[in-house]
Amino acid sequence: MNLKGRSFLTLKDFTPEEITYLIDLAADLKAKKKQGITGNSLKGKNIALIFEKPSTRTRCSFTIGCIDEGGHPEYLGKDDIQLGYKESIEDTARVLGRMFDGIEFRGFKQEHAEMLAKYSGVPVWNGLTDDYHPTQILADCLTLKEQFGQLKGLKLVYVGDGRNNMANSLMIGATKLGIHFTNIAPKSLWPKEELIKLCEGYAKESGSKIEITDDLNAVEGADAIYTDVWCSMGEEDKAAERIALLQPYQVNKEMFAKTKKDSTIFLHCLPAVKGKEVTEDLFEQFADIIFDEAENRMHTIKAVMVATLGEQ
């Protein structure tokens, strides 16, 4: 499959076959790395890593993935680059596109990632924006495949802030790949109607179902329950209000009992605020899977870079 020169801004832009290809490529690269085999597909390539928002997993994943494949990563933090302040995003993009072969962007506005892709002329990869977090979904899907051997037909339940970048991206990825998706959240935190309608179209094609509800009993039959922090970066001022609103949606043993299954797993994109969105005991019960999921960020991000920029 040829994805050369493509940007990776949202999973909306990719077919189910292309997403599956990236997950399978990541599994192959992971198996090779475990055997001590790395590649040269990014040899001679220079990659800009723009971080308006700090990160552990995203930064480490892009850096290690790039070096493993023979490339050179250059970190550009918010104090290193004046994106849209001293210089317009269009001009910054055109400068970086002349010097770098690929650009990772982790920041606030999805529009900025799209402008970088439009004006730089090189592949741009979304390391997280306020709207979407597509590389995380690839890692989640690789983890689900490792746990269950397949993706199609699984039931994935997301609980908590149902309109943040994780809930949005999980709904897109799940419905593209035939995973049944349930979003349990207070009505004030449901995803935008426009995105639900779009994903209903994907679900129709893949044979999956979407459910948006505030009823905790909808976890019944879940293969995986997923949550995220109740306050995303930049929303710290809403913490007290969110905690009050989302306390009933905490993932805990009582919620797991409602699945009526013994095989249900728990996933979290990290960092976790234990005692808030998930109890510490439940988090620790599934820690091995959660940290597989964190490690899988690196393998899936490497796959995205190799597929869109690498010489295979």
Residues at the binding site for carbamoyl phosphate are 55-58, 82, 106, 133-136, 269-270, 297
Question: Which of these is catalytic: 68, 131, 140, 228?
Answer: 228
Question: Under a CB-based contact definition with an 8 Å cutoff, are residues 112 and 124 in contact?
Answer: no
Question: Which of these is catalytic: 112, 180, 268, 297?
Answer: 297
Question: Which of these is catalytic: 133, 180, 268, 299?
Answer: 133
Residue ranges of the annotated binding site for L-ornithine are: 165, 228, 232-233
Active site (annotated) includes residue 237: no
Active site (annotated) includes residue 297: yes
Q: Give CA–CA dist 207/29, Å, rounded.
A: 29
Active site (annotated) includes residue 98: no
Question: Which of these is catalytic: 6, 59, 106, 112?
Answer: 106
Active site (annotated) includes residue 231: no
Question: Which of these is catalytic: 59, 66, 68, 136?
Answer: 136
Active site (annotated) includes residue 133: yes
Question: Under a CB-based contact definition with an 8 Å cutoff, are residues 161 and 230 in contact?
Answer: yes
Active site (annotated) includes residue 269: yes
Question: Which of these is catalytic: 131, 199, 269, 299?
Answer: 269
Enumerate the active-site residues. 106, 133, 136, 228, 269, 297
